[in-house]
A and B are shown apart, each in its own frame.
Chain A
Amino acid sequence: MLLEMERISKSYGDVNANRGINYNLKAGEVHAIVGENGAGKTTLMRILYGMEQPSSGSIKLNGKEVFFNDPKEAIRHGIGMVHQHFMLFPNFTVAENIVIGKEPGVIKFDRKAAVAQVEALSKNYGIKVDPLAKVGDCPLGVQQRVEILKVLYQGAEIIILDEPTGVLTPLEVKELLEAIKALTLKGKSFILISHKLNEVMSAADRITVLRDGEVTGVVEASDTDVEQLSNLMVGRALAPSIKQPSMPKHPVLELNNVSLSGGGSKKLLDSISLQVRAGEIVGIAGISGNGQSELIQVIAGLLSPDHGKISLLGANMTGRNARDLRDAGLAHIPEDRYIWGANKSATVAETGVMGHQRRLQRFGILKRKVIRGLVSDWIKQYSIKAGSLDNQTQNLSGGNLQKLIVARELAQNTPFLIAAEPTRGVDIGAMETIHDQLLRKRDGGGAILLISSELSEVLKLSDRIIVMYEGAIAGELQVGEATEEKLSLLMAGGKRNE
């Protein structure tokens, strides 16, 4: 055995994050750890990476017991970690980011040697990067390769990947999985932390399932299926969301030839016309960066289009601000929860009440009790782990904050909802709840525009699917005729059916 973690326990005060966890890893193996938010995956990895010390239990590398006081020691023992949120310097080049902490050169940093070493590394492992490119200009998929090369440069034999596919496009996910396969052939071992079961199934050799800090199963990927894994994760069988055929009524949102020019020659939005009717979910698919973000912002009143007309419930809303749109019947789950969706230094209650504040007041004074009751209800309904209402928003994990935002926007009960990446980073139990809520809203006559980089999500929820490519609509498919293959083709600019 390359790595053995035995009876690892870790408690923070009264909370037992890990309870007697056994986990081992063979050389050249991909051993995934799956579990819902708060199941203890990250704690276990923080212990392995030296960021935390276990309350009890032992770690053995090649049969010898080891103790890591900090990540440096873990790195020295050949353990590398690629974090969910990349830790790169965007203003520096790829090569500079990779060699950081172990730079070639005695007194002066030898840039040429760094580039040469990175090129050699990249060639050796078959992971392609341009050493001279600025990291900030690279797409997220490339940034992740830079992170992987960084840990390889540091001499990692065991690579921990924490939620590696969260920010990647489907194509980038495929490339990542291929890179993992190639590296295992070179003898590297991977610990893959994820809650995307399909990816885990296709990448991992073995899978350990955690729930509430305990191991609920260790299975060979070849002997199991997604259903069994999710049962082990959630502790119950998931009822599949039942979707009735939609019965769309009057149009709620209408876009007519909406265009937005960026700084350059290419338009960010190119004559977009679309309709979302009451009682239907229209999905927008596309590789990120093809105009989806701009489309959301234009509809939500956060950007003004250069041309075209936007109307909500028959009223012309072109160029109006977010306040006017919200007053006219918009709710909006934003695509980035930290940029748009929250104030990290505010309390949970304060982040939770945004958009409701003008409703929950008397004589200009906020109704504190009502607000706290409302947010508490959401916390219960969506089982958000928030600590207390006065906890700072930044202390919430990404998935819990996402649930809070979804609850907040659904509670607006508006005729129209933009749901952008509504389940990004949440566990499958919560994903099920959110999907059910979206479908319920649709069945109650709500109009929903769903933007998601998860094709499975778009396919599952949408009644119609619009594919965007380079700022324009590349095609529209009814849910019955849409398949991942057809969508992928349109997303890559394959054909236009106009």
Chain B
Amino acid sequence: MNKFNKLLHPLIGPLAAIILGLLAGSIAIVVAGGSITETYSEMWKGAFGSFYFFTSTLSRATPVILIGMGAVVAFRSGFFNLGAEGQMVLGGLSAALVGLYMPGPAWLVCVAALLAGIAAGGLWSAMAGYFDVRFRVNLLITTLLLNYIATLFAGYMVAYPFKDRTGSAAMAQSAMLDNAIWLPKLFKGMAVHAGLIIAVIVVIVLFIYLSKSVSGYEARMLGGNPLFAVYGGVRRTSLMIATMFASGGLAGLAGATEILGSQYRYIDNAFSSADYAWTGIMAALLANANPIGTAIAAFFLAALQTGGMGVELNTDVPLEIGSVIQSVLILFITVKFTRIYWKRRKGRKQDGSAV
């Protein structure tokens, strides 16, 4: 019973947020003049209604999960990496370029492209970490602002030097990758690709890293009380740079798998408009940076988005209904944060007074 409670307890908050989000969504549906049951059933169908829809939800969830894991690594160590978008973009671009220009056997090019994605995202993120250590520039600000630099730079790259000149001249995109190096699809004709397997492995590895390893322990202690960690012999600087590298590297990997498994070329603005990065960060916040919870939340948020598309297709209610529910979720995440903050303040007062 106790163990059951312990498992259940962290789920109560997110579940309540989801239920409230759906309730708020109902209000929006009524306002938009739709039927609540019809809209939600279309949403359900759009996300899970058939094997095809289910696998496209999984496909959409893949980069969100990977980015969520990147956010988990950073949040647990007490660092806020808000640069997932730029890291993902650079990861995707690097993977595309390696895929296009590296000679060699196809499998090797594919692996190299994935690694290039990790390296690009990781270095971009670690750079922000270095600025924090070296010049004390706030990590929150640098990671956030570096997004613009990364997305605009990548946009320039595919609009000028690496622009695909074969097809329609209007699109800012790179040339198409050779299909030998694509990540294999998991089911014929379905969207979901081998990136999902990579994502699941990352979730498991991260779970073990955080709960069992020395370095994961040190990272969590650094996140909980940095002074305590430093006092205990944790090397803050190197752990921080490594953490930021891992966090950005996972975002870069998300970009790389998306390129190699689903888009096969870097298209300007494709990642940003799909909102993968912020959805991933939100999943981590929703699940309190627990790796497994974050994966579940990422899947749920992806379902909300694919479901929203189904709603738009089959009813008069617009796609934005998914966004409404998401926004309410964000609000409730904020509430949760203030509650934790309150608990901490109260906790401080009670410290040591029990004699």
Q: How far is the CA of A350 from the CA of B232 in the complex (A)?
A: 12
Cβ–Cβ contact B354 & A397, under 8 A: yes
Q: How far is the CA of A300 from the CA of B232 in the complex (A)?
A: 10
Q: Smallest CB-CB separation from B230: which chain A residue? A: A322
The answer to whether A322 and B217 touch (CB under 8 A), given A366-B212, A394-B347, is no
Question: Nearest B residue to A166 by beta-carbon distance?
Answer: B352
- Of the candidates B221, B225, B350, B352, the one having the most CB atoms from chain A within 10 angstroms of its own CB is B352
Whether the Cβ atoms of A334 and B233 lie closer than 8 Å is no
B234 surroundings in chain A (CB, below 8 A): 323
| Per-position 1/0 for A320-349, Cβ under 8 A of B | 011100110000101000111111111000
Does B233 contact A322, Cβ atoms closer than 8 Å?
yes
Interface residues of B in 196-217 (CB under 8 A from A): 212-215, 217
B228 contacts A354, CB within 8 Å?
yes
Contact B353–A339 (Cβ < 8 Å): no
Structural contact, B352 and A398, CB atoms closer than 8 A: yes
Please determine whether A334 and B231 come into contact, CB atoms closer than 8 angstroms. yes
Tell me which residues across on chain A come within 8 A of B215, comparing CB atoms.
364
Task: Kindly state whether residue A425 has any CB partner on chain B within 8 Å.
Answer: yes
If over half of B's interface residues share one DSSP class (helix, strand or loop), that class is named, otherwise mixed; here it is helix
User: Nearest chain A CB to B183's CB is how many angstroms away?
Assistant: 29
- Asked if A343 and B352 make an inter-chain contact with CB atoms under 8 angstroms apart, the answer reads no
Q: Does A261 contact B (CB under 8 A)?
A: no
> Do A358 and B231 form a contact, CB below 8 Å, given A85-B353, A343-B224?
no
- A15, CB-defined interface residue at 8 Å: no
Chain B residues with CB under 8 A of A38: 355
Question: Which chain B positions have C-beta within 8 A of A72?
Answer: none
| Given A332-B231, A345-B224, A358-B355 contact (CB < 8 Å) | no
Q: Closest residue to A332 on the B side, CB-wise? A: B231
B352 touching A42, Cβ below 8 Å: no
Which of chain B's residues has its CB closest to A42's CB? B355
Say yes or no for B85: interface residue by CB 8 A criterion: no
Partner of A342, one of B225, B348, B350, B355: B225
For the side of the interface on A, what is the size category?
Answer: 35 or more
Residues of B within 8 A of A35 (CB): 355
Alpha-carbon distance A398/B213, docked complex (angstroms): 29
**Chain A, 65-99, CB within 8 A of any chain B CB:** 83-85, 87
- Complex Cα distance, B355 from A355, in Å, reads 28
Is there contact, CB below 8 Å, between A343 and B225? Answer: yes
Q: Is B274 an interface residue (CB 8 A)?
A: no
| CB-based contact B217/A357 at 8 Å | yes
Residue in chain B with minimal CB distance to A397 = B354
The answer to whether B347 touches A327, judged by C-beta atoms less than 8 angstroms apart, is: no
Contact A357 B355 (CB under 8 A): no
Contact B355 A399 (CB under 8 A): yes
A346 to B212, CA, bound (A): 14
Interface residues as binary, A389-422 with B (CB distance below 8 Å gives 1, 0 otherwise) = 0000010011101000000000000000000000
Contact assessment for A343 and B353 in the assembled complex, using a CB-CB cutoff below 8 Å:
no
Within 8 A of A (CB), among B312-355: 344, 347-355
Q: Which residues of B contact A143 (CB under 8 A)?
A: none
- Chain B residues whose CB sits within 8 angstroms of the CB of A326 once the complex forms: 232-233
Q: How far, in whole Å, are A129 and B353 apart by their CA atoms in the complex?
A: 26
Q: How far is the CA of A332 from the CA of B233 in the complex (A)?
A: 11
A163 adjacent to chain B (CB < 8 Å): yes
- A195 CA to B352 CA in the complex, in Å? 14
Chain B stretch 76-126: residues in CB contact (< 8 A) with chain A: none
B150 CB to closest chain A CB (Å) equals 32
> B258: CB under 8 A from chain A?
no
Q: Is the CB of B214 within 8 A of A361?
A: yes
Since A354-B231, A394-B351 are in contact, a sample of 6 more A-B pairs with Cβ atoms closer than 8 Å, ordered by chain A residue number, is A85-B349, A332-B231, A340-B227, A344-B224, A357-B232, A366-B212
24 cross-chain CB contacts under 8 A: A37-B355, A38-B355, A42-B355, A84-B352, A84-B355, A85-B348, A302-B230, A302-B231, A321-B230, A322-B230, A322-B232, A345-B224, A346-B220, A354-B232, A355-B232, A357-B218, A364-B213, A365-B212, A366-B213, A366-B214, A394-B351, A398-B354, A401-B352, A425-B352
Binding site for B on A (CB under 8 A): 35, 37-39, 41-42, 83-85, 87, 162-163, 193, 195, 300, 302, 321-323, 326-327, 332, 334, 338-346, 350-351, 353-355, 357-358, 361, 364-366, 368, 394, 397-399, 401, 425
Closest 9 CB pairs of A and B: A398-B352, A354-B232, A343-B224, A323-B233, A397-B354, A343-B225, A326-B233, A42-B355, A340-B231
Tell me the B residues contacting A by CB distance below 8 Å: 212-215, 217-218, 220-221, 224-225, 227-235, 344, 347-355
